Chains A and B, each alone.
Chain A
Amino acid sequence: MKFVDEFREPELALRLVAQIRETATRRWVLMDVCGGQTHSLLRYGIEVALEDCVELIHGPGCPVCVTSCESIDFALQLAMQPHVIVASFGDMLRVPGSRESLLDVRARGGRVQMVYSPMDAVELARNHPDCQVVFFAVGFETTAPATALAALHAEQLGLDNFSMLVTHVRVLPAMEALLLSPVNRVQAFLAAGHVCAVTGFAEYDVLVDRFRVPVVVTGFEPIDLLQGILGAVQQLEAGGHCVSNCYARSVSREGNINAQKTVETVYEVADRDWRGFGSIRNGGLILRDRFERFDSEKRFATNQMNPISVVNTCLSSEVLSGQIKPPQCPYFGNACTPDSPLGAPMVSSEGACAAYFRYQWLQSK
Chain B
Amino acid sequence: MMTPDRIEFPTCPVTSFQHDRVMLAHGEGGRLMRKLLRERIAPAISCGNAAISTGIIENDAASFTVNDGDMAITTDSYVVSPLFFPGGDIGSLAVFGTINDLAVSGADPLWLTLGLILEEGLPFELLDRILLSIGTAAKRCGVSIVSGDTKVVPKGVLDKIFINTTGIGRVRDIGSLGSHRLHEGDAILVSGPIGHHGIAVLAAREQLGLNPAPRSDCAPLHESCRCLHNALGRDLHAMRDATRGGVSAVLHEWSEASSHTMKLRESLVPIAPNIRGACELLGLDPLYVANEGTFVAAVSRPAVTRAIEVLQNLDVSRHATIIGEVTKKQSAPVIVERLLGIWQPLDEPSGAPLPRIC
Q: Which residues of A contact B (CB under 8 A)?
A: 1, 4, 8, 10, 13-14, 17, 36, 43-46, 48-49, 63-64, 89-94, 114, 116, 120, 138-140, 142-143, 194, 222, 338-339, 349-350, 357-360, 362-365
Cα distance, A350 to B354, chains bound together (Å)? 11
B140 at the interface (CB under 8 A from A): no
B121 at the interface (CB under 8 A from A): no
CB neighbours (8 Å) of B342 from chain A are 44-45, 48-49
Which residue of chain A is the closest to B348 with respect to CB atoms?
Answer: A362
User: What number of A-B contacts does a CB cutoff of 8 Å give?
Assistant: 94
CB neighbours (8 Å) of A91 from chain B are 354-357
12 A-B pairs (CB sep. < 8 Å): A10-B341, A45-B338, A45-B344, A63-B357, A63-B358, A114-B354, A116-B208, A349-B354, A362-B332, A363-B343, A363-B344, A363-B345
CB neighbours (8 Å) of B357 from chain A are 63-64, 89, 91-92, 138-139, 142-143, 350
B175 at the interface (CB under 8 A from A): no
CB neighbours (8 Å) of B339 from chain A are 8, 10, 13, 44-45, 222
Cross-chain contact A142 with B358 (CB below 8 angstroms): yes
CB neighbours (8 Å) of B280 from chain A are 1, 4
Cross-chain contact B356 with A1 (CB below 8 angstroms): no
Cross-chain contact B356 with A93 (CB below 8 angstroms): no
Count residues on chain B whose CB falls below 8 Å from chain A CBs: 28
Q: Smallest CB–CB gap between B194 and chain A, Å?
A: 15
Q: Which residues of B contact A (CB under 8 A)?
A: 206, 208, 273, 276-277, 280, 282-283, 331-332, 335, 338-345, 347, 349-350, 353-358
Cα distance, A114 to B353, chains bound together (Å)? 13
- Which of B206, B335, B347, B356 neighbours the largest number of chain A CB atoms within 10 Å of its CB? B356
Which residue of chain B is the closest to A364 with respect to CB atoms?
Answer: B331
Cα distance, A364 to B335, chains bound together (Å)? 12
CB neighbours (8 Å) of A120 from chain B are 206
Q: Smallest CB–CB gap between B149 and chain A, Å?
A: 29
Cα distance, A94 to B351, chains bound together (Å)? 10
CB neighbours (8 Å) of A45 from chain B are 338-340, 342, 344
Cα distance, A8 to B341, chains bound together (Å)? 12
Cα distance, A310 to B340, chains bound together (Å)? 44
Cross-chain contact B356 with A349 (CB below 8 angstroms): yes
CB neighbours (8 Å) of A363 from chain B are 331-332, 335, 343-345
